[in-house]
Amino acid sequence: MSVNNNYKNTAPAPRKRGPGTAGVIAVILLAVLFAAAIFLFVINRWEIVIRVNGPSAVTGECGEPYRDQGAEAEVTGSILSSVHHQIPVTASAEGVNIHEPGEYKVTYTAKFLWISETAARTVSIVDTTPPQIELLTVEDHYTLPHHPYEEEGYTATDNHDGDITDRVTSQERDGIVYYSVSDEAGNIATAEREIYYDDRNAPVISFEGPEEVFLFKGDSWKDDVRAEDDADGDVTDRVEYETDLNTRKVGTYTVTYTVTDEWGNTATKKRFVTVKPVPAKAPKKMDPKKVIYLTFDDGPGPYTEELLKILKKHKVKATFFVTAAYEDYRDLIKKEYKAGHSIGIHTATHRYEDVYESTDAYWEDFNEMEDIIQAQIGRRVDIFRFPGGSSNTISANYCEGIMTELTQQAGEKGYAYFDWNITSGDAGDTTSGDVMYDNMMEGIHKYENSVILCHDVKDYTVKMMDRFLTDALEEGYTFLPITSDSPGAHHGVNN
Ligand code: ZN
C-alpha cells in the first residue's frame, strides 16, 4: 500500500513492455502457421484417387450403343486420410467406335490445384453377331420333279458388314436348299428351304402323221408313238395302249394310248386305224362249176422248185400251206408268193403232239410260222390249214375239244381256215401217179368248187402234176389261188 502512496502525486510513469507481448504472439502464430503448412503440404501429401466405375476392361458388341459408366475422383491426404474431397472427372471416350471392332481406351482425368491424375478403361468392341439370311418366296412357286430348284431369292445382312447378299452360297440336296453366309468376323449364318415340288402337266403323246391311219387287210402295222413329259423327259417306254385292232379284218379300230408321269398326271390320245380290203384284181367271169383250188401242204421242200416250174408252164396259180420243216428251202416261200400263188400257214412244226397240246401251244407254233412267212414275203397272211384238217380226231388224243376252240378262235383272230374236198391220196394212200390222177379227175368232176389236197414234199406228186394240169385245163377248169373269202370246203369239227 505504501508504494502506491509514494507515487500518489506524480504522474504514473509510462509502462515499458520490453520486446512486446504482441510480437511474441505474432511470432508464435507465424511459427504455428508455418508448422501447420509444413504438416499440411509437406508431411501430409495430397493425392487424387480416381475410381473407375465398373470393370476396367469391358467388351461391347459391335453396333450396339456403348455407355460408359464413368469414374469418380476425390482428393485425400496421406496422413489426413479422413479427408475425402470429391472433385470432377473428365472422361475422353471419343476413341470408341462402336461400329468398328477393336480395342479402345477411355481416359479419365481429374485435377486439383497443381496435382492431377489419370485412369483408363479398356473397351473392346467385338462382332459376335452372325448375319441374318432372309428367304424370299414367290407366290405359287413350284419346282418340277427331277429339275433343279429355281431360286426365289434371298437377302443377307450383317450388323457390321451391312448387305452381304452377294456372299451367300447355296446348295441343293435331297429336296432341301441349304444357304450359308459368313461375315468378316467369321460369324456364320445358315438357312434352309424345303423345295416344293409339283408337276401340273401330263406328258404329251405324239405320233407321226394324221390321227387316222389306213391299212390294207393283212398289212402289218406298228405305231411310232412317242411321249414326252416336262418333268420326266422321254416316257415313250411307259406308253400303254388298248385296241381291238385286227389287221386281218376289215373295219375301223381305235387305238387308245395312255401314259402316266411319275407325278400321276395321265395323258390319253387316240388313233384310228381303218383296215380296208385288199384291192382285188377284177374277178374273171367264170363258170362256178369249173374252179379248182389246188393246194400243196407241208413244204416247201426239195421238189417245190420243180413244181413251181410246172405251175408256171401251165400258168396255174395254186396255194401253199407251208411249214418250217425244210430250213434250206424256206426262201421258196418268197418264190411261191412272187409267182402269184397264195401262202397259208400250216404251223411250224406240224407235230400233232405239240400243236394240239393246248390252244396256247397251237397259236404259239402258228405265230412262229407266221413270222417266218412275214420275213419271206414282207406281209402277214390270213389263211391257214390245220395239220390233219379241221376234222382230225388225232388232236383228241392230246386235248379234248381243242378243234372246237381253235376254229372259233381263228375267226376271232381274223384267220380263215381251209380244208379240202378232194384228196390226191399222196399222204400215205398211194405213191402211184396214176392212182392220184384218177382220184383228182374223179373229184373235180364231182364238185362245183374243188379244193384238192396235195403235198409238194412228195416227188411222185410233183411228177404227175404236169399230166393232171394239162387235162384239167383241157376240160376247161380254172385254177385259182385261195384267198380268205374263197369257199372253205370245211370238213366239220370232230373234236
Ligand atoms: Zn400237212
- Using a 10 angstrom Cβ sphere, with 0-12 exposed, 13-18 middle and 19 or more buried, the burial of residue 301 is buried
> Residue 100: which of 121, 120, 122, 124 has the closest Cα?
124
Residue 307: the pLDDT is 98
CA of 426 to the centre of ligand 1 (A): 11
The whole-angstrom separation of Cα 243 and Cα 369 is 24
pLDDT of residue 113: 87
pLDDT given for residue 248 in this prediction: 85
The reported pLDDT for the residue numbered 19 is: 61
CA 492 / ligand 1 centre spacing (Å): 17
Extract the C-alpha cell encoding 147: 429339275
Instruction: Tell me what the pLDDT averaged over the chain comes to.
Output: 90
CA of 355 to the centre of ligand 1 (A): 12
pLDDT band at 6 (very low <50, low <70, confident <90, very high): very low
479 CA distance to ligand 1 centroid (A)? 21
How far apart are the CA of 387 and the centre of ligand 1, in A?
Answer: 5
Which band of pLDDT confidence, cut at 50, 70 and 90, is reported for residue 90? very high
**Whether the predicted pLDDT of 93 surpasses 80:** no
Task: Assess whether pLDDT exceeds 90 at residue 254.
Answer: yes
Q: How many CA atoms lie within 13 A of 67 on its CB side?
A: 0
- Residue 3's pLDDT is 41
All cell numbers assigned to 427? 399222204
Ligand 1 center to 8 CA (angstroms) = 204
Mean pLDDT, residues 476-491 taken together: 89
The confidence score (pLDDT) of residue 45 equals 87
CB 319 within 8 A of CB 294: yes
The mean per-residue pLDDT over the stretch 20-28 comes to: 90
What's the CA-to-centroid distance between 238 and ligand 1, angstroms? 43
Q: How far is the CA of 206 from the centre of ligand 1 (A)?
A: 46
Q: Are the C-beta atoms of residues 422 and 439 closer than 8 Å to each other? A: yes
- pLDDT of residue 306 exceeding 70, the answer is yes
DSSP symbols for 302-348: TTHHHHHHHHHHTT---EEEE-SS-GGGTTHHHHHHHTT-EEEE--S
Our separate counts of H helices and E strands in the chain read: 9, 28
> Over 50: is that where the pLDDT of 4 sits?
no
Q: What is the pLDDT of residue 210?
A: 78
Q: What is the pLDDT of residue 490?
A: 87
Ligand 1 centre distance from Cα of residue 281 (Å): 30
Distance, CA 352 to ligand 1 centroid (Å)?
10
Q: What angle do CA 212, 217, 223 make, to 5 degrees?
A: 45
pTM: 0.49
Summarised one tens digit per residue, pLDDT across range 382-435 is 999 999 999 998 999 999 999 999 999 998 898 999 999 999 999 999 999 999
Distance 453 CA to ligand 1 centre (A): 9
Nearest alpha carbon to residue 332 among 462, 487, 470, 420:
462
Mean pLDDT over 192-217 rounds to 90
Contact partners, residue 229, CB within 8 Å, separation at least 6: 199, 201, 202, 203, 204, 235, 259, 261, 265
Q: pLDDT exceeding 70 applies to what percent of the chain?
A: 94
Cβ partners under 8 Å of residue 276, min gap 6? 214, 215, 216, 217, 250
**Greatest mean pLDDT among 3-12, 87-96, 112-121, 340-349:** 340-349
Confidence class for position 167, pLDDT limits 50, 70, 90: very high
CA–CA dist 231, 261 (Å, integer): 8
